[in-house]
Amino acid sequence: VSCFTPLLIISGYLQGRTQSKAGHVKTAKSFAEEGGRYAIEAIQNIRTIATLNQERFFIEKYKNVFDKDFKNKLCKIPIQALGKAIGNSFLYFIHVTAFSYGASLVESGNMDFVQVFRVFIVINFASMSIGRSTSSMPDYTVAKAATERILTFLDQISAIDPYNDKGLKP
């Protein structure tokens, strides 16, 4: 079972990255912002657009922005599905191999049935947890840097002395 640990870590990493939405939020936000700009422009200049009969033009511009987002996702979805399928199939092949070897150990009397499950579960969960935690390492480094900046800011001494009574008084 321990020979499959790298595969389990990779599988956990892939699952952790697909569950993380950090990268997808930025692109979706940029497409929404661009579409929002077109909508705001059309609303602010509604009289001019209506006078020049350009409603279809702005509708097409707005629609094209979200079509780009849709086409972008359309290309990524099969790749993500393939990665998820491979990652999940690793787990089943590892289960088959581990339990068949465990059954031979139980049959020969080298291990107890409970011990086989205990070893399998510990290695499986530990490897998957390592993989998932490594997938969130970039987020952790950003959070750590932000924490350091906040603590540095809080440690600064104010240029204004709050305990000094001198100054303008009403």
Instruction: Identify the pLDDT of residue 104.
Output: 92
Q: How far apart are CA 86 and CA 13, in angstroms?
A: 12
In the block, residue with structure tokens 């939020």: 25
Domain 2-154 fold is: ABC transporter transmembrane region fold (1.20.1560)
Mean pLDDT across 59-83: 80
> Are the C-beta atoms of residues 131 and 6 closer than 8 Å to each other?
no
H-assigned helices in the chain: 5-19, 22-44, 46-51, 55-108, 113-135, 137-155
Instruction: Identify the pLDDT of residue 19.
Output: 62
Which has more pLDDT, 32 or 78? 78
How many CB atoms are closer than 10 A to CB 51? Answer: 9
Which of 122-126, 142-146, 148-152 reaches the highest mean pLDDT?
148-152
> The pTM is what?
0.48
pLDDT tens digits, one per residue of 78-98: 877 887 787 778 778 888 888
Calculate the dihedral angle through the C-alpha atoms of 95, 97, 99, 100, rounding to the nearest 10 degrees: 150
Which has more pLDDT, 21 or 86? 86
CA 73 to chain centre: 15
Name the residue ranges covered by the structural domains of the chain.
Answer: 2-154
